[in-house]
Amino acid sequence: MSAYKEKVNFSFNDVRLEAKEGQTVAAALYENDYKKLGTTRKYQRPRGLFCATGRCYSCLLTVNDQNNVLSCMTLVEEGMSVKSNQS
């Protein structure tokens, strides 16, 4: 078995991106230079990858029309649609 991982295509805010198979959504976005994943509702402060363990709520995104998904715990899948929770 080789160390090479297959490429997976997904979209973030309607922009097509590439990730490695087995990568989390947050890691794939970070690798594609998306450091800001959304904003806070009240003060519009930027939110991004913080703990990568699922213990904070900085990386909540909408994945395949399901709201408030922890992107640091969700694996990228082919054709996945990811959107930020910006208000």
pLDDT digit string, tens, across residues 26-64? 999 999 998 888 777 788 888 877 787 777 877 889 999
In a domain, 2, yes or no: no
Q: Is the pTM of this model over 0.75?
A: yes
The DSSP letter of residue 8 is E
Which tops the pLDDT comparison, 44 or 77?
Answer: 77
Check whether 6 has a pLDDT greater than 60.
Answer: yes
Can you list the positions of beta strands (E) in 1-87?
A: 7-12, 15-20, 36-39, 46-48, 60-63, 66-70, 80-84
Query: Chain-wide mean pLDDT for the chain?
Result: 86
Classify burial at 38, counting beta carbons within 10 Å of its beta carbon; exposed 0-12, middle 13-18, buried 19 or more: buried
Which residues span the domain enclosing 39?
7-84
CATH classification at residue 61 = 3.10.20.440
Check whether 17 has a pLDDT greater than 90.
Answer: yes
In a domain, 19, yes or no: yes
In a domain, 30, yes or no: yes
